[in-house]
Amino acid sequence: MTELTLDPAWHFAVIGDPVAHSKSPQMQNAALCELGFGPCYGKLQVAAADLPAFVAAARKQLRGFNVTVPHKRAILPFLDRIDPEAELGQSVNTVTVEPDGSLSGASTDGYGLAMAIRERFQLEVAGGSFTFFGAGGAAQAAALHFALQGARALYLVNRTRSRLEALAAILARANPKLELQLAAPGDEARIEQFLRASQLVIQATSLGLRPDDPPPFRLELLKVNPGLRAVETIYHPTPFRRTCEAFGLPVTDGRGMLLHQGARSLELWLGQPAPVATMRRALEEALCGE
């Protein structure tokens, strides 16, 4: 195994491939400075082949690290302990390096979304009904957290049926009482029914990242429920977000989710409350102009 040397100033880091776009360093370093640790959170592009070398270096030097695409599942075999939610979803975004060098994994993405909707809409997951568009990593982490936190109903829409069914199987295992219904993006009658029955719709596909992307479904359908609220997981304005605004539906973007998943990571590493207001300001500055 090739050796990997980390910047000696780092106690925390985010790894991914690519990772240049990550705003976690700005957000976490603002918090770490406020808490008296200094700017000790780095960012490192790690290819899949270099994951073992990174983990070996992290065990010796870091107190914790975040994991982003494509390593959220690949990191699992390196961990000594995995919390039940991350185990069920087979996805880890937060690793704590214990004082003895052992590694504990958790997923804070779903928590991040739950906190964001509580903050923005005063909406609680327990007892709620939600429509998700997408069944990729982000949708899976969020839907699983919602199922475990006692959501009443989850309605899932995704292009690839096999992915949808795999996610549904995990959710049914997580919460056998959950009402669970599935549809393809073209099944407008079912989508209409889902949106009518939901308190919140979550756009968690990657459609909207590029300007020429098609919408994830026929957006006119959003009109069927004037009481609906919406989350767009993408940070910049997308056709989904603009359509919600045009129809008068309260909508929030992915920043709240990003903020609160990061705050929870910091709390897991330090065992103390994260300075959320400072992190929010740093994130806004980092995203400003994007």
The smaller minimum CB distance to ligand NDP, of residues 112 and 128, is found at: 112
Please give the residue whose beta carbon sits closest to ligand NDP in the complex.
Answer: 136
The smaller minimum CB distance to ligand NDP, of residues 6 and 123, is found at: 123
The beta-strand segments (E) located in the chain are: 12-16, 41-45, 64-67, 81-82, 94-97, 103-106, 129-133, 153-157, 179-183, 200-203, 229-232, 251-252
User: Both tokens of residue 231?
Assistant: 């989350």
User: Both tokens of residue 62?
Assistant: 């870091």
Q: Which helix (H) or strand (E) holds 82?
A: strand 81-82
Q: What three-state secondary structure class fits 48?
A: helix
Distance CA 135, CA 112 (A): 17
The smaller minimum CB distance to ligand NDP, of residues 104 and 252, is found at: 252
Instruction: Please report, as a single letter, which amino acid is at residue 251.
Output: V
Q: Give CA separation, 225 vs 193, 229, 245, 252, in Å.
A: 10, 9, 14, 17
Q: How far is the CB of 188 from ligand NDP (least distance, A)?
A: 15
The smaller minimum CB distance to ligand NDP, of residues 6 and 17, is found at: 17
Q: Where do contacts with ligand NDP occur on this chain (CB under 6 A)?
A: 69, 109, 112, 134-139, 158-160, 163, 204-207, 209, 233-234, 254, 257-258, 261
Q: How far is the CB of 175 from ligand NDP (least distance, A)?
A: 21
Distance CA 267, CA 261 (A): 10
Q: How far is the CB of 250 from ligand NDP (least distance, A)?
A: 17
Buried b / exposed e along 181-204 (16+ C-beta atoms within 10 A): ebbebeeeeebbbbbebbbbbbbb
Q: Give CA separation, 270 vs 34, 109, 234, 281, in Å.
A: 13, 18, 28, 20
Q: How far is the CB of 167 from ligand NDP (least distance, A)?
A: 9
Distance CA 250, CA 213 (A): 23
The smaller minimum CB distance to ligand NDP, of residues 225 and 233, is found at: 233
Q: How far is the CB of 253 from ligand NDP (least distance, A)?
A: 8
The smaller minimum CB distance to ligand NDP, of residues 82 and 156, is found at: 156
Q: Are strands 153-157 and 179-183 parallel, antiparallel or unpaired?
A: parallel
User: Both tokens of residue 287?
Assistant: 């995203």
Q: How far is the CB of 36 from ligand NDP (least distance, A)?
A: 27
Active site residues per annotation: 72
